Every structure is written in C-alpha cells, then in structure tokens.
C-alpha cells in the first residue's frame, strides 16, 4: 500500500520561504499572488494491507518524526 503525507505550516505560523517565493513571483511579473505557503510531500511504500491500520501507522510516523506538530499540520492519502 502507498501513503502520501502532505505537511504544511499551520495557519498563523510565519512562512519565510513562502514569502520569498511570493516576492520573487511578483518580481518576475506574476501579479496578483497574495500569499504562498510552502510544504512538503512524503511518499511511503508500506507492507500494510489494511487501510485503517496503515492510516494509523502513518499517523504515528507523522506524530513522531515526519511532522513537527507544534507548527505543522499533516494529511494522509492512501492508495
């Protein structure tokens, strides 16, 4: 089973990388971009066959390592 984890900064947390990209887009002539948030995608190949067990296992991975849950939120997709 494959899992895809999307990790992004929580609302209200300053995103300096996103702000730098927003500024650069404006400098390149892409007007109208009012905000940019940068995140990461993590793809996992799991040996799990049960979807709920896989979701639980990946959630545990996120809580312990893949996301800094103080400032980041995450979502999990299974395929």
What is the predicted pLDDT for the residue at 70? 98
Q: Which two tokens stand for residue 8?
A: 């992004």
State residue 79's pLDDT score: 93
Q: Quote the pLDDT of residue 18.
A: 98
Per the CB < 8 A criterion, the answer to whether 12 and 77 are in contact is no
What CATH number has the domain bearing residue 18?
3.30.1280.10
Distance, in Å, from the CA atom of 46 to the CA atom of 54, rounded to the nearest integer, reads 8
Task: Return the pLDDT at 32.
Answer: 97
Instruction: Say what the pLDDT of residue 50 is.
Output: 97
pLDDT of residue 22: 98
Number of domains in the chain: 1
Give the domain range for residue 59. 2-78
Per-residue model confidence as pLDDT tens digits over 11-61: 999 999 999 999 999 999 999 999 999 999 999 999 999 999 999 999 999
């Amino acid at each position: 089973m494959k899992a895809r984890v999307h990790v992004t900064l929580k609302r209200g947390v300053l995103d300096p990388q996103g702000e730098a990209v927003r500024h650069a887009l404006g400098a390149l002539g892409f007007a109208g971009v009012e905000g940019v948030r940068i995140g990461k995608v993590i793809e996992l190949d799991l040996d799990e066959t049960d979807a709920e067990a896989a979701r639980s296992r990946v959630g545990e991975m996120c809580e312990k390592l893949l996301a800094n849950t103080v400032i980041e939120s995450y979502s999990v997709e299974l395929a």
